[in-house]
Structure 1
Amino acid sequence: MLPGNRQIRAHSILKDLESQQLRELARHYEKTTIYGSPSYVTKVRNRSAKNTYIVADDLPLGVRQQSLPSREADRIVDEVHRFLEGQELIQVDRQMGLTPPATYHCRLYVTREYARLAHMWYYTLFPTAKGGEPDFVSIYVPEWPERIILAYPREGTTYILGTDYFGEAKKSFLRQAMYRFKVESGGLGFHAGSKILRVRTEAGKLEELGFIMFGLSGTGKTTLTIHDHDLTGEEGIIIRQDDVVLMDRKGFCHGTENGFFIKTEGLDEGQRVLYQAATGPMACLENVMVYEDGTVDFDNVELTSNGRGVIPRSEVEGTDEIIDLPKAHRVIFITRRNDIIPPVAKLNPVQAVAFFMLGESIETSAGDPTRAGQSKREVGTNPFLIGPE
């Protein structure tokens, strides 16, 4: 439901488009790589955390969460809807999650000029049944003169204005899902990857251990989630998720997405699984250096050190059709803090709780490039929470 029961009225709305049709609409922005995959360059190249506001006047907020009075936000929203009346929009409907109650119908509207955002977002979620009203709606207007993101948690609606960075679309739905799952199901949304390691014990018995890995954007969640740890033979990994899981009261971790959002800086063949996926024809690259002949240079950070790629799960070795993790036997906190000694430490339950709440880490180019490398604390390493921690 849109705030104030507003409706989407536009000059025209393109609906029910498949991935290849969306790519064709975005062709004018594409530089094709030697692998046959599309690459795009954006004007804004990181998430706009300082410009993100929660709109719910009576909702208590947590640390670093910003609110905007509904009166002021509604004034901006009214202007946006008047603007949309003269625009051609693209509507894409996808489903987040596969296992109830953590399944959500998500709908993205974006102005046609920025079809590349719809094309990339298409790969992150699953097909949804036709018809029905969405649980969450994001309205993306990159050409808006002011950069501001307005999240209405009770309505499940987000307005993304004045930025063309793809991460805003992806996180807008995950932010809403984490809040909805907390309020309606009493669960927790974690900014964490998940995987299963199939390994032999000291006694030689083969067992499967579930892992979830917490970390701020750009600190290595996807890298660690997808890494095969050089396990061979009967031992190996099964990849579940790389960004957000929804844990219920019994510890079951619901998966959310059908794609991986990878950071490409310095990517090479030493990260075999990730490199193969990033250099496949189904990858969508964003702000990665691609030369005129289509050669991809993951080491060149002239555009940004926050180069990204969207990769369908089906293109990643070590995945299957399951995205859920029945139980997390091990929990890992990724800090990327070079001044913490020892570099690897085993925590007891009390220490783990304290570490979760402290969220010791560093800022990265994904969040605020001007502070990249500086110390940062974020509860649960999750800057996408809504409400008290």
Structure 2
Amino acid sequence: MEQPLLDEVRDAIAQLAARPNVFTLSADEIGARAIGFGTPTAFGNTNWVSTVKNRSAALTVHLGSPSVRSGEPTSKKRDIRKHASDTIRTLHRYIERAPLMRVDCRVGDNPDFAPECTLYLSNYRRETARLAHKVLQTFFPSRSADGPRLTVVFVPEWQEKDRQILVFPEIGVTYVLGTDYYGEAKNAFLRMAMWRAKQQNMLGLHAGTKIIRATGPDGGSRRLGMLLFGMAASGKTTHICSDHGLHQPGEGVEIAQDEVVFWRPDGAALGSERGFYIKTEGLNAESHPLLYQAAASPNAILDNVMVDYLGNVYFEDRTLTANGRAIIQREDLGDLASSSIDLPPLSQLDGLIVAFMVRKYTVVPIASKLTPEQAAVAFLLSESIDSGGAESREIGGNPLLVGEPAEAANAFYELVKSHSGKIGCYMLNTGGVGEIVELGLDGARKVQRRVTRVEIAEMSAVIRGIARDTIRWHEDADWMVETPLHVEGLDATRFDLNKHYDQSKIDALIAQTRLERTQQIESIPGLDPRIKAAVEF
């Protein structure tokens, strides 16, 4: 994008605060206005329903210098870029007249990196005040209304046919047009914060974090950090918000973050949010007691969840969407919430567990110990099955990546290598093994034999064993990794591939997985050769 147009965007944003059509309200006033358009629930909280119920990734374009531009393989993204200048100028004329609510907040809660943020939300549709309310429940109160900041201009009423998200990372501005989905506001701030962190020699990660206190084999206490990666529906949030049965004296967990952190060279992971934006599909008191308790709190905000005329909540109902959400507050995690949203430097911990959660259904082991090179491959692939059953991948499980994937992967690899004595890396498959699938002519998956699923308690046993250092590992007969021979509290024989397939089928499925991984890695230019060499693990 030409610099004069970036200057136009910067100038338009600089003038917004003083415009007569811009107004502010207190957090209480915004909340009261928003609640008037919501549905009260039997939990004592409120549910809102948006017209758009998913993020518009296919309509999100990064604009600026070549270092921030994302590949635009689709004709729609190319079209958005082609007409960006006209769109921007039309928008600038519109926001001189539309009623704009200004909301200030802050990403993070530490003295080193906590970018100030401003949302300019068009209030043309008054019910969209809920978006401002949700921003204030997700991020921290602003410390200053002046100075450098990340800015989002959000215009839900923009024509549907022209829906798009224009991201200007280098000047800290995002325009969200034609959607009323809250995730776009949240993601806009986090995406720009990750870019800014990169300029300050940090690595923005789409990962949850917590402290684990565990008893080692020698009876000594171990205080570990955990970085947990995973795409939606992989189990990341479930296992971040779990104590894994660590119930011996002195054991426990301290939950810090669920989604985005900024990883410093000293191993510290700085948090970003005070509220967690969790998926509610399948949420129940039996399998997800802590998350259910937090989502059922009066402090929670529900988003696109089914609520009946009596206020009863049905998290399992997918009539409106499979992407029901809730913003839960860390305080409702009770004693399991950490005192800080930040993980300390590695010098203050006994170690760091870096785990990549995937959800695969055939031959991927339920747990694998990875080398730093293999971990960098896992960071790039983030393999999973989406909620519709289709294969899906995102770089580092990160839908907010700005810039070249190889640059992020190489930085991740170097950071892990620099602390290799204190960082252990793992791939954890929360799906299972044994599924047999045929693909129809339309590409649809037709399940011939159902997967032997990994239960939540079983994966908790694996994580507990990693934290206590009690798992007996061995070289896997089929994969070039170490896998568990024995895990306390888990019958590992349930997931023995030879119980589900003959050897020829195992070999074929592994070869297919390796081919898919290789094709994905080969499509990413600029990778460290040591990472590329590790792809066929």
Q: Output the TM-score relative to the length of structure 1.
A: 0.92
Matched residues, number? 380
Tell me which amino acid in the other structure corresponds to 1:325.
Answer: L
Q: Which runs of 5+ in 1 are unaligned?
A: 365-371
2:61–2:81 Cα contact (<8 Å) kept: no
Q: Choose which of 239, 258, 261 in structure 2 pairs with 1:242.
A: 258
What CA distance in whole angstroms lies between the structure 1 residues aligned with 2:115 and 2:328?
A: 21
The 1:166/1:116 distance shift into structure 2, 3 A limit, reads same
Q: Choose which of 306, 311, 315 in structure 1 pairs with 2:332.
A: 315
- Report SS of the residue matched to 1:123: helix
Tell me which amino acid in the other structure corresponds to 2:231.
Answer: L
What CA distance in whole angstroms lies between the structure 2 residues aligned with 1:380 and 1:63?
A: 17
- Report SS of the residue matched to 2:83: helix
What CA distance in whole angstroms lies between the structure 2 residues aligned with 1:220 and 1:11?
A: 47
Query: Which residue number in structure 2 is paired with residue 49 of structure 1?
Result: 57
What CA distance in whole angstroms lies between the structure 1 residues aligned with 2:342 and 2:243?
A: 19
What CA distance in whole angstroms lies between the structure 1 residues aligned with 2:57 and 2:246?
A: 38
Query: Which residue number in structure 2 is paired with residue 190 of structure 1?
Result: 205
Question: Once the two structures are aligned, what percentage of the paired residues are identical?
Answer: 38
Tell me which amino acid in the other structure corresponds to 2:311.
Answer: G
After TM superposition, the structure 1 = structure 2 runs for residues 248-327 of structure 1, keeping only pairs within 5 Å, are 248-270=264-286, 271-317=288-334, 318-326=336-344, 327=346
1:2–1:155 Cα contact (<8 Å) kept: no
Q: Choose which of 206, 210, 215 in structure 1 pairs with 2:225.
A: 210
After TM superposition, the structure 1 = structure 2 runs for residues 91-106 of structure 1, keeping only pairs within 5 Å, are 91-106=102-117
What CA distance in whole angstroms lies between the structure 2 residues aligned with 1:292 and 1:307?
A: 18
What CA distance in whole angstroms lies between the structure 1 residues aligned with 2:121 and 2:99?
A: 9
Distance apart, 1:126 and its partner CA: 0.9
What CA distance in whole angstroms lies between the structure 2 residues aligned with 1:153 and 1:289?
A: 36
Residue 361 (str. 1) matches residue 384 (str. 2): yes
Distance apart, 1:67 and its partner CA: 7.0
What CA distance in whole angstroms lies between the structure 2 residues aligned with 1:35 and 1:339?
A: 39
Larger Rg: 2
1:209–1:329 Cα contact (<8 Å) kept: yes
Query: Which residue number in structure 2 is paired with residue 143 of structure 1?
Result: 157
- Report SS of the residue matched to 2:32: helix
After TM superposition, the structure 1 = structure 2 runs for residues 20-169 of structure 1, keeping only pairs within 5 Å, are 20-59=28-67, 61=69, 72-112=83-123, 113=126, 114-145=128-159, 146-169=162-185
Distance apart, 1:2 and its partner CA: 7.3
Residue 3 (str. 1) matches residue 9 (str. 2): yes
Q: Indicate the structure whose relative CO is greater, using CA pairs within 8 Å and at least 6 residues apart.
A: 1
Tell me which amino acid in the other structure corresponds to 2:357.
Answer: I
Tell me which amino acid in the other structure corresponds to 2:89.
Answer: D
Query: Which residue number in structure 1 is paired with residue 507 of structure 2?
Result: none
2:68–2:169 Cα contact (<8 Å) kept: no
Q: Choose which of 323, 330, 345 in structure 1 pairs with 2:368.
A: 345
2:62–2:70 Cα contact (<8 Å) kept: no
2:359–2:383 Cα contact (<8 Å) kept: no
- Report SS of the residue matched to 2:367: coil
1:55–1:151 Cα contact (<8 Å) kept: yes
Aligned-pair Cα RMSD in Å: 2.1
Distance apart, 1:133 and its partner CA: 2.9
Q: Which runs of 5+ in 2 are unaligned?
A: 1-6, 406-537
Distance apart, 1:83 and its partner CA: 1.9
After superposition, the C-alpha distances for 1:233-276 in whole angstroms (9 at most, x for unaligned) are 53211001000110112221111111101100111112111010
Tell me which amino acid in the other structure corresponds to 2:141.
Answer: P
2:208–2:229 Cα contact (<8 Å) kept: yes
Residue 225 (str. 1) matches residue 237 (str. 2): no
After superposition, the C-alpha distances for 1:178-228 in whole angstroms (9 at most, x for unaligned) are 111112x12211110001111111222222111001112343222211112
What CA distance in whole angstroms lies between the structure 2 residues aligned with 1:135 and 1:129?
A: 11
Query: Which residue number in structure 2 is paired with residue 336 of structure 1?
Result: 359
Q: Output the TM-score relative to the length of structure 2.
A: 0.67
Q: Give the helix-richer structure, 1 or 2.
A: 2
What CA distance in whole angstroms lies between the structure 1 residues aligned with 2:141 and 2:260?
A: 19
Q: Choose which of 394, 402, 420 in structure 2 pairs with 1:378.
A: 394
Structure 1 stretches of 4+ with a deviation exceeding 6 A read: 67-71
What CA distance in whole angstroms lies between the structure 1 residues aligned with 2:318 and 2:385?
A: 19
The 1:62/1:152 distance shift into structure 2, 3 A limit, reads closer
Deviates more, 1:64-73 or 1:170-179: 64-73
Tell me which amino acid in the other structure corresponds to 1:213.
Answer: L
- Report SS of the residue matched to 2:227: strand
The 1:217/1:100 distance shift into structure 2, 3 A limit, reads farther
- Report SS of the residue matched to 2:370: coil
What CA distance in whole angstroms lies between the structure 2 residues aligned with 1:205 and 1:76?
A: 62
